[in-house]
Structures are given as C-alpha cells and as structure tokens.
Amino acid sequence: MGGGAREHALAWKLSRAAGIDELYAAPGNPGMAGIATCVPIAADATVELAEFAASLHIDLTLVGPELPLVLGIADEFARRGLLLVGPSRAAAEVEGSKVFTKEFCLRNGIPTARAKVVRNRDEAAAAVKELKVPVVFKADGLAAGKGVQVCRRKGEVEQALARYFEERTFGAAGEKVLVEECLEGEEISFMVLTDGVSVLPLASARDYKRLEDGDGGPNTGGMGSVSPAPTEPGLAARILRTIVHPTIAGLAAEGRPYRGVLYAGVMATKAGPQLLEYNCRFGDPETQAVIPRLDCDLLPLLRAAAAGELGALRAAWKREVAVCVVLAADGYPASPRRGDAITGLGEALAQPGVLLFHAGTALQDGRLVTAGGRVVSVVGRGVTLEEAAQTAYSGVARVQFDGMHYRRDVGKGLS
C-alpha cells in the first residue's frame, strides 16, 4: 500500500521472492507497474482497501505510509480476518500522537528529551523559559513530517510561537504542542519488525532530512539515506535494550500490543541513546537503502510478524553499504512543480550497482514526467561507503529533468 520510493523498494524486494504469485500495489507508481498490478485506490481509503483485499483473497498486505495505520486500517483488516503487516489504530498512536508517546516514555522509563505539553502561546513561552533555548516545537498530530521546528535562537522561538499558535499552521494536529529540550548528538534511524512479543532488528540507517548540503535549509521528507549508519559498536544493542524492548513490552502491558514495523528515530547523545520519535512503519528514504542489503527473503519475515510467529527469526544482511540519493522536483519542498519530462533513467539503471525507485513520477502521453516533490530515489551499492556513494552519484549523473535538485554530500565525510 502506497506509491512512494519506499513502497517501490519493498515491492521490488517482494517481487524477487519465491512464493509470490501475484503482487498488487495501491496506488503504486509507474516504477512499480512493471512488477505489480497497480490498483487506483488511495492509501487512506481504508474500507475500500480492505474490501479490495477481501474480494481478491489477498494473503498478506503491507502498509507503507502512516496515515492509513493511524486511521485504523489494521483493525479494518483484522475484522475481516485478513493478514496485514502494521499496528492497530491504538498501537499506531506512537506516531499519531507525540504527546501520547512522550507520556508513554515517561511512564515506562524510556530515555527521551524533557518536554512540556502546551496549548497556547503563554504556556509555550513559559515552557521555553523553563527549558531554555535551544528548544524544539512539535505539533502533536500527523503533519507530513513538517510538524517539528528546532529553534536555536530567540528569533526562531518568536517565529515558532507565531506559526504554532497564531497562524495555527498545523490545524487540529497542533492543538497540543510539545516544547522540548534540544538534544545534541548523531541521529540514527533504527527499524525493527515485531509481532508484539519478539523483535527482529533491521539494519540501521542515517537519514538526510535537510534540503541542502551540510544540513542547511529546511527539513524535508528526506533527501537521502545511508545504510548501515556509521555508529559506534554496541549502539544498536543499547537502543534495543533501553528503548525498543521496553516500548514493545510497555505497549502490550497497556493493552496496545504492537505488530509491524516500529521505527525509532534516535539521538545518540553523550548520555546514551534517546528517543526523538517513533514512526509506525518503514522509513522513507531509509528503506530504499536498507532493503537492497537484505540477504534473505522479506516475505517470510513479514508474514511471521503479522501472524504473531516471529519467534527467533533473524534477517541476514549483505556485507555492503547502500547510499540513496533523492532527486527532487523544482520548488521542493515548498511547492514542487509537476509535469517536467524525465530522461536518462534507463542509462542510470545500466550503471553497475545502481537501483532506481520511483516516487513522484507519472506517465503523460507516453512520457515519464515529474508528479511530486521527491521524484526518484537513486541507490548505489558498494563494498565501502565511498564506493556506494560513487555508484549512487554515477546513476544520478545520468538522470535529467528541469529543476532537478539533490544533495551532493550523501554518504560523504561520514567515515
């Protein structure tokens, strides 16, 4: 379910597995059309999707984006006895409400930044005074990855106060806001597959959220990723022990057993790993770098997680590095332009070690054109980080469309 590069990467992996007779993508994209039957149902039409899956006796459904999960698509499928990889509406609250997650972390001793829940400008100003600049503002509800603002100077705080409480940019999602302490350290994206009891860690990744090289410019949906994340040894084990396991156990104990992919956005601080946020699904663009490194079939792992049979199953990983560079449309992220003709994808794909995953593309009169902010993910694989980055950029160099822009520093200067 879904039509981004994350879903294309997952469909690509699944399409190569034994035991798949038919693969459907709703709504899919032109890149997925070669490997799956694309069905024009939007990802948030949860009842329609469940009816479609029931009518075709679909054996297993994998949900890409958060919205259908937060809307309760897992419950809709469960009512019909259909197997789906993804948490129930109650468990998806870990992404659906940042206030819920913050309070959950406090109750369960999960390390995270100190924070205050505020509802208006005065409460927010008082919270800023107490926590002291730098601070972070976070809209409680879903905001398409744009609900967080890090304020490093007083002027930015004023701007945020106006944005969150006067302009009410986030509508209902911003009725409650978290004001939290700013953490310093390296960020890491850590995803696991869980059936509510057992946990299967996936390979770590680094996300490049900012628009410009050197982490300048505004936050975006993600401009690139690297897997594995260059981290100190032992960090993954520590994240599992202090963050992931207590979360899975705590959610179960609170009557919200979690099944599916749990994505922890973690800051590795001097005092140890701290949770920045949870997502209730695979990360985008992390998945485009993680999934090509998987050295076993994905299907049995997904099926086991959905069926509550994960047990001691483990994933195998290739000893290679993957670098993903996102090619963005003119005007992204503010107002991406559509309709620019895309050329060179075939040549890019012909480069050894390159994979391409579509996102904002469409077919118009037989031509491939841009149709969204993040247009394609170009993935390069290699034995070393340098080789993987070089491979990814050799693919990037073949692709062209008017207004195309991308970061030139993904995977560079890390090791």
99 near ligand AMP, judged by CB under 6 A: no
Kindly identify the residues of this chain, within the stretch 161-200, that bind ligand AMP according to CB under 6 A: 180, 182-183, 187
Kindly identify the residues of this chain, within the stretch 378-407, that bind ligand AMP according to CB under 6 A: none
User: 16 vs 154, which CB is nearer to ligand AMP?
Assistant: 154
User: 75 vs 187, which CB is nearer to ligand AMP?
Assistant: 187
Number of residues that bind ligand AMP (CB under 6 A): 14
Question: Residue 387 CB, nearest distance to ligand GLY (Å)?
Answer: 24
User: 112 vs 351, which CB is nearer to ligand AMP?
Assistant: 112
Tell me which of 48, 59, 212, 277 binds ligand AMP, using CB under 6 A: 277
From ligand GLY, ligand AMP, none, which one binds at residue 148 (CB under 5 to 8 Å depending on kind)? ligand AMP
Question: What residue is closest to ligand AMP based on CB?
Answer: 277
User: 46 vs 274, which CB is nearer to ligand AMP?
Assistant: 274
CA 398 to CA 415: how far, in whole Å? Answer: 27
Tell me which of 69, 151, 251, 276 binds ligand AMP, using CB under 6 A: 276
Going by their DSSP bridges, the two strands 186-194 and 148-151 should be labelled as: unpaired
User: 152 vs 154, which CB is nearer to ligand AMP?
Assistant: 152
From ligand GLY, ligand AMP, none, which one binds at residue 139 (CB under 5 to 8 Å depending on kind)? none
Chain Cα centroid distance, residue 391: 23
CA 79 to CA 182: how far, in whole Å? Answer: 42
From ligand GLY, ligand AMP, none, which one binds at residue 93 (CB under 5 to 8 Å depending on kind)? none
Question: Residue 326 CB, nearest distance to ligand AMP (Å)?
Answer: 16
Cβ-based neighbours of 353, under 8 Å, separated by 6 or more: 380, 381, 382, 388, 391
Residue 19: name the closest of 60, 57, 62 by CA: 60
User: 222 vs 260, which CB is nearer to ligand GLY?
Assistant: 222
150 near ligand AMP, judged by CB under 6 A: yes
Question: Residue 206 CB, nearest distance to ligand GLY (Å)?
Answer: 10
Phi-psi region of 330 (alpha: psi -120 to 50; beta: other; left: phi over 0): beta
Cβ-based neighbours of 146, under 8 Å, separated by 6 or more: 219, 333
Question: Residue 99 CB, nearest distance to ligand GLY (Å)?
Answer: 18
From ligand GLY, ligand AMP, none, which one binds at residue 276 (CB under 5 to 8 Å depending on kind)? ligand AMP
* Binding residues for ligand GLY (CB under 6 A): 145, 207, 222, 279, 283-284, 286
Question: Residue 182 CB, nearest distance to ligand AMP (Å)?
Answer: 4
Decide: helix, strand or coil at residue 382: strand
Does residue 333 have a cis peptide bond before it, meaning omega lies within 30 degrees of 0? yes
Task: List the beta bridge partners of residue 273.
Answer: 268
Per-residue binding letters, 205-244, with ligand AMP (x by CB under 6 A):
----x---------x-------------------------
From ligand AMP, ligand GLY, none, which one binds at residue 222 (CB under 5 to 8 Å depending on kind)? ligand GLY
Query: Hunting for tokens 């800051």 — which residue is that?
Result: 267
Query: Hunting for tokens 């195998």 — which residue is that?
Result: 316
Kindly identify the residues of this chain, within the stretch 306-335, that bind ligand AMP according to CB under 6 A: none
From ligand GLY, ligand AMP, none, which one binds at residue 409 (CB under 5 to 8 Å depending on kind)? none
Mutual angle of helices 154-165 and 121-131, in 10-degree steps: 150
Task: List the beta bridge partners of residue 266.
Answer: 188, 275
Length of the chain as a residue count: 415
Question: Residue 372 CB, nearest distance to ligand GLY (Å)?
Answer: 15
From ligand GLY, ligand AMP, none, which one binds at residue 394 (CB under 5 to 8 Å depending on kind)? none
What's the one-letter identity of residue 188? I
Phi-psi region of 65 (alpha: psi -120 to 50; beta: other; left: phi over 0): beta
CA 226 to CA 204: how far, in whole Å? Answer: 9
SS (H, E, C) 18-75: CCCCCCEECECCCCHHHCCEECCCCCCCHHHHHHHHHHCCCCCEECCCHHHHHHCHHH
Does residue 68 have a cis peptide bond before it, meaning omega lies within 30 degrees of 0? no
From ligand GLY, ligand AMP, none, which one binds at residue 286 (CB under 5 to 8 Å depending on kind)? ligand GLY
CA 169 to CA 150: how far, in whole Å? Answer: 16
Give the binding site for ligand AMP (CB under 6 A): 113, 136, 145, 148, 150, 180, 182-183, 187, 209, 219, 265, 276-277
